[in-house]
């Protein structure tokens, strides 16, 4: 059966997910048309992508780079805009079928909300959208009849396991974690680790922010919160299992005790393509998994005392309200400070814990409350960094 062509907006096209999504598009030119590309700062790569894929519109979030992008792309007949508001505006264009949100961090929230309000299907790589405002976003998607297809490998795995099982209740899910570069390390060993060490992930090639999150297990914590909203789960139905080989991407256990697992080599192009083509599977030339190359798959419990960020995520789920928004904003400031060598690896958790204690808690937040919470948390976190750096 011929796959109907989809018209895409790719938010964050110059990042790791965005570039791999364009690899999928390039391999399937009859199946996808790129309508919109956006980037934060990487004007050179955005220009290169636009010249290749010829979208109708590009947006550079950093307004100081507008002239550079405009001068390069206006002769090609491509419309160029700048600023965060422009991103939120263009996702509502009538010509778009699906919006791939692969922007980094909190910045993905408002464009995703605007896209849902406009009735666009969402391929979600920006987990922070559901971490910050999961209840609001999922309710809005339900109201608008919009599907949110997960791009994260773990959530894609869960989704692939429940296809055909939507009528069967989930007993629990098992989110797998590689353990990152510091798996098995003690707190004493982590006191003096460097950003260079933290940026060396054993299995995946990702952007700097998500790689640091993986090293601290915050990425898994954010995925726990995202899973709650994507699949309608309670915290006690979500279990994290450390699986160093990153071959089993996650599992679902049903009420009869049966467990389904989705497996494959660690290659983000596969979950990206599945999110963009569901319910179809397009033929792909991705490398195939060979069991003989992996004679042993191992599993461990996560160390929640050493890697406290994962525990903070579960705590945020238990508390509800705007607590996950606080955790996310504090973590974004912590990671940025760590990458600037202003705080130590373990101090990132201290900063997050301080914000959880100090920032105003709101039990039933609105979208405006989430925006204010994010701003307040960043202020508290920056003050903490200034004192401790």
Whether residue 105 contacts residue 333, with contact meaning beta carbons closer than 8 Å, is answered with no
Answer whether residue 119 is part of any domain: yes
pLDDT of 1: 54
For residue 87, the domain's CATH number is 3.40.50.720
Identify the band that residue 107 occupies on the pLDDT scale cut at 50, 70 and 90.
Answer: confident
Whether residue 219 contacts residue 236, with contact meaning beta carbons closer than 8 Å, is answered with no
Residue 258: Cβ within 10 Å count: 11
144: which DSSP letter?
Answer: H
Per-residue pLDDT tens over the stretch 225-259: 999 999 999 999 999 999 999 999 999 999 999 99
Mean pLDDT of the chain: 94
Q: Is the pLDDT of residue 201 over 70?
A: no
Answer whether residue 188 is part of any domain: no
| Locus of tokens 């940026």 | 199
More confident residue, 187 or 204: 187
Answer whether residue 333 is part of any domain: no
The whole-angstrom separation of Cα 185 and Cα 68 is 46
Answer whether residue 323 is part of any domain: no
Answer whether residue 42 is part of any domain: yes
Tell me the two tokens of residue 374.
């994010």
pLDDT of 204: 59
Q: What is the mean predicted confidence (pLDDT) over 4-25?
A: 95
pLDDT of 372: 97
Whether residue 330 contacts residue 351, with contact meaning beta carbons closer than 8 Å, is answered with yes
Answer whether residue 231 is part of any domain: no
CA dist list (Å): 257 to 115, 172, 180, 260, 304 = 38, 10, 29, 10, 26
Answer whether residue 83 is part of any domain: yes
Number of separate domains in the chain: 1
Answer whether residue 12 is part of any domain: yes
Identify the band that residue 3 occupies on the pLDDT scale cut at 50, 70 and 90.
Answer: confident
Per-residue pLDDT tens over the stretch 281-332: 999 999 999 999 999 999 999 999 999 999 999 999 999 999 999 999 999 9
Per-residue pLDDT tens over the stretch 363-373: 999 999 999 99
The whole-angstrom separation of Cα 284 and Cα 279 is 15
pLDDT of 208: 84
Q: Is the pLDDT of residue 381 over 60?
A: yes
Range of the domain at 26: 6-150
| Locus of tokens 């209740």 | 169
The whole-angstrom separation of Cα 288 and Cα 294 is 12
Identify the band that residue 389 occupies on the pLDDT scale cut at 50, 70 and 90.
Answer: confident
Per-residue pLDDT tens over the stretch 52-84: 999 999 999 999 999 999 999 999 999 999 999
Q: Which residues contact 138 (CB under 8 A, 6 or more apart)?
A: 130, 148, 229, 230
Tell me the two tokens of residue 248.
């089993």
Identify the band that residue 203 occupies on the pLDDT scale cut at 50, 70 and 90.
Answer: low
């Amino acid at each position: 059966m011929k796959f109907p062509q989809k018209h895409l907006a790719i938010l964050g096209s110059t990042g790791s997910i965005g570039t791999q999504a364009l690899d999928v598009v390039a391999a399937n030119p009859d199946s996808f048309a790129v309508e919109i590309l956006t980037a934060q700062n990487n004007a050179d790569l955005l220009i290169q992508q636009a010249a290749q894929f010829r979208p109708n519109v590009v947006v550079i979030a950093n307004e100081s780079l507008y002239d550079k992008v405009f001068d390069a792309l206006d002769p090609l007949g491509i419309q160029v805009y700048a600023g965060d508001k422009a991103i939120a505006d263009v996702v509502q264009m009538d010509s778009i079928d699906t919006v791939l949100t692969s922007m980094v961090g909190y910045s993905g929230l408002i464009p995703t909300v605007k896209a849902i309000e406009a009735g666009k299907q969402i391929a979600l790589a920006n987990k922070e959208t559901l971490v910050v405002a999961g209840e609001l976003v999922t309710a809005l998607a339900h109201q608008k009849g919009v599907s949110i297809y997960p791009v994260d490998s773990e959530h894609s795995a869960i989704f692939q396991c429940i296809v055909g099982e939507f009528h069967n209740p989930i007993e629990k899910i098992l989110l797998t974690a590689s353990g990152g570069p510091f798996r098995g390390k003690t707190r004493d060993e982590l006191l003096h680790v460097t950003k260079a060490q933290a940026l060396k992930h054993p299995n995946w090639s990702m952007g700097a922010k998500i790689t640091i999150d993986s090293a601290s297990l915050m990425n898994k914590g954010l995925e726990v919160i995202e899973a709650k909203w994507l699949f309608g789960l309670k915290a006690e139905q979500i279990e994290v299992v450390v699986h160093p080989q990153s071959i089993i991407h996650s599992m679902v256990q049903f009420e009869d005790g049966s467990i389904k697992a989705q497996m494959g080599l660690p290659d983000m192009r596969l979950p990206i393509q599945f999110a963009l083509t569901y319910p179809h599977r397009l033929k792909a030339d991705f490398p195939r998994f060979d069991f003989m190359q992996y004679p042993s798959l191992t599993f461990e419990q996560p160390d929640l005392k050493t890697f406290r960020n994962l525990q903070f995520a579960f705590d945020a789920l238990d508390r509800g309200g705007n607590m996950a928004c606080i955790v996310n904003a504090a973590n974004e400031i912590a990671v940025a400070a760590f990458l600037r060598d202003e705080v130590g690896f373990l101090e990132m958790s201290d900063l997050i814990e301080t914000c959880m204690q100090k920032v105003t808690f709101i039990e039933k937040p609105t979208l405006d409350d989430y925006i204010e919470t994010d701003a307040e948390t960043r202020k508290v976190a920056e003050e903490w960094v200034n004192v401790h750096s």
